[in-house]
Amino acid sequence: MMDDHTDEQLDEWIREAAHSYHNPLPAPRNEMWHAIQAARRTPDVRPIRRPIRWLAWSVGVAAVLALGVSIGLIIASDRPVPVLVAAADNPSPTTPQRVSTALAVVTTEHLTQAETFLTLFRNAVRTGEVSSYAGGTARHLLATNRLITDSPASADPVLKELLQDLELVLAQIAQLSEDSWEGETDLITDGIEQRAVLTRLQTVVPAGTLRGALSL
Amino acid sequence: MARSTDEGTAVDDRQLVAGVLAGDPAAERRLYDANVDRVYRLAYRLTGDPDLAQEFTQESFIRAFDRLETFRGDAKLSTWLNAVATSVIFNGLRKVKRFRQREVDLDLATSRASNRAEAEPDLKERLHGAIDDLPKGYRAVFLMHDVEGYTHEEIGTSLGIRPGTSKAQLSRARAKLRQSLAAFAGGMTE
């Protein structure tokens, strides 16, 4: 093991030698300036990352969901219905069994939206196209998630655990700022993977479930 | 490399930004000239590719001009520009990596790292490989601090981390580099 003196010598050598790492050529100032000016004059072709389209409508859907949860909470106490998703061919054992149809639909819709959001978020991280709109969408979904967590829909311990994990992930995304994207987004997607949040969402809400539920 | 640190910087920055926001093309060019080398050097250090460095530098300035009204003067304009640039560079690198190394063979990478001592006897080559192998955050902090001369405060603002985190990451980066070069260290310091 090297002592401190040797470490300092080596650090000094590393600092010096590292200057040859990716040693920059002179910046092509004028070429870049002309390209920047051209891009700014023609905004349609410049390589700006555009906000992801789904984020706009998901904000609206999240707001509607919040209203739906409130309605569901009112109905839930009167009409216990032993079905979360009537149209599911093979209802998951994780689905709560004693919530109203309205609350079940709202819960299912929320989980579907969350699954879509996280899938798109994960893809956006991979392609480097995460935008600040993601935080806004996460905040709306987070609000709905908390309402559902406090509702009879979370009586099922497995669903409750999923909602709690979902809350952690959504809270992390909601707190993202553009300056902290680097590193943070990877941590979030790692968390999604480690907690198998997407897999569990897909288990709870099988494909096509929502359409069937809404056709009741 | 133009790096203004005097007390008049804040005033100059505000005047320059005001000029750009007022549509003064000369102010735009001054802002660009004062910062382009620094941004390009950082892009080049982090990418090692002249084309990518050029593309990311251009994108950084396009984005900076678009968002200049959000500059509040809390930090120096150059630091704010660095934050924009690092965001562009890291996001861009992630996208490039997706195309170029979609299926990274981790076993191959490990094998390459472990065999480098025999395959690349030159110490500088080994150092470059070791820098490449640093975790992304460590590499950025090491290059920005030890190679490009940024302060930990500037790095913190640029990368969205605290200066203390920057110091810790630099320390770990140096330790990893020392570790990677350990096989050569004895011969070098004897």
pLDDT of residue A32: 96
Q: What is the ipTM of this complex?
A: 0.80
CA dihedral (B116, B121, B125, B129) in degrees, to 10, reads: 10
Cα B134 versus chain centre, distance? 14
The verdict on B12 and B88 lying in the same domain is yes
pLDDT of residue A29: 94
- Residue B107: pLDDT band (50, 70, 90) is very low
pLDDT in tens, B113-154: 444 444 445 788 889 999 998 988 899 999 999 999 999 999
Using the Cβ of B30 and the Cβ atoms of chain A, whether some distance falls under 8 Å is answered with no
Whether the pLDDT of residue B59 is over 60: the answer is yes
Domain that holds residue B159: 103-183
pLDDT of residue A140: 86
Closest CA to A124 of A202, A52, A196: A52
pLDDT of residue B73: 83
| CATH code for the domain of B63 | 1.10.1740.10
pLDDT of residue A104: 82
DSSP string, A51-107: PPHHHHHHHHHHHHHHHHHHHHHHHHTT--BB-S-TT-SS--TTS-SSB-HHHHHHH
pLDDT of residue A8: 81
The verdict on B67 and B151 lying in the same domain is no
Instruction: Please state the domain count of chain A.
Output: 1
pLDDT in tens, A66-107: 555 555 554 444 444 333 444 344 444 444 444 477 788 888
Output the CA–CA distances (angstroms, integers) from residue B44 to A195, B14, B99, B126, B174, in the order listed: 37, 28, 19, 20, 21
| Stated pTM of the model | 0.53
The verdict on B13 and B92 lying in the same domain is yes
The verdict on B94 and B137 lying in the same domain is no
The verdict on B88 and B37 lying in the same domain is yes
pLDDT of residue A109: 86
Instruction: Please state the domain count of chain B.
Output: 2
Interface probe for A, chosen from B21, B41, B150 (most Cβ of A below 10 Å), is B41
pLDDT in tens, A33-47: 999 999 888 654 444
Nearest CA in chain A to B146: A15
The percentage of chain A sitting over the pLDDT mark of 70, rounded to a whole number, equals 59
pLDDT of residue B104: 46
Residue A45 is assigned to a structural domain of this protein: no
The verdict on B84 and B108 lying in the same domain is no
Residue B190 is assigned to a structural domain of this protein: no
- Over its C-alpha atoms, chain B yields an Rg (Å, rounded) of 19
Residue B115 is assigned to a structural domain of this protein: yes
pLDDT mean over B168-186? 83
The verdict on B64 and B135 lying in the same domain is no
pLDDT of residue A188: 82
Instruction: Collect all residues of chain B within an 8 Å Cβ-Cβ radius of residue A47.
Output: 55, 59, 62
User: Is the pLDDT higher at A69 or at B3?
Assistant: A69
Sign, Cα dihedral of A148, A150, A156, A161:
positive
Interface of A with B in 6-45 (CB under 8 A): 6-7, 9-11, 13-15, 17-22, 24-25, 27-29, 31-33, 35-36, 39-40
Domain final residue, candidates B52, B71, B102: B102
- Residue B94: pLDDT band (50, 70, 90) is confident
Using the Cβ of A50 and the Cβ atoms of chain B, whether some distance falls under 8 Å is answered with no
Cα A173 versus chain centre, distance? 6
Domain final residue, candidates B83, B102, B121: B102
Please give, rounded to a whole number of angstroms, the shortest distance from the CA of B74 to a CA of chain A.
Answer: 14
| CATH code for the domain of B126 | 1.10.10.10
Collapsing DSSP to helix, strand or coil, B124 comes out as helix
Closest CA to A178 of B63, B84, B36: B84
Instruction: Return averaged pLDDT per consecutive 10 residues of chain A, 216 residues in all.
Output: 67 90 93 92 50 47 54 48 41 50 83 88 77 78 86 83 86 71 73 84 68 40
The verdict on B14 and B88 lying in the same domain is yes
Residue A39 is assigned to a structural domain of this protein: no
- Residue B84: pLDDT band (50, 70, 90) is very high
pLDDT of residue A127: 73
The percentage of chain B sitting over the pLDDT mark of 90, rounded to a whole number, equals 52
Nearest neighbour of B32 by CB, restricted to A13, A33, A46? A33
Q: CA-to-CA distance for A84 and A78, rounded, in angstroms?
A: 16
The verdict on B126 and B96 lying in the same domain is no
The percentage of chain B sitting over the pLDDT mark of 70, rounded to a whole number, equals 77
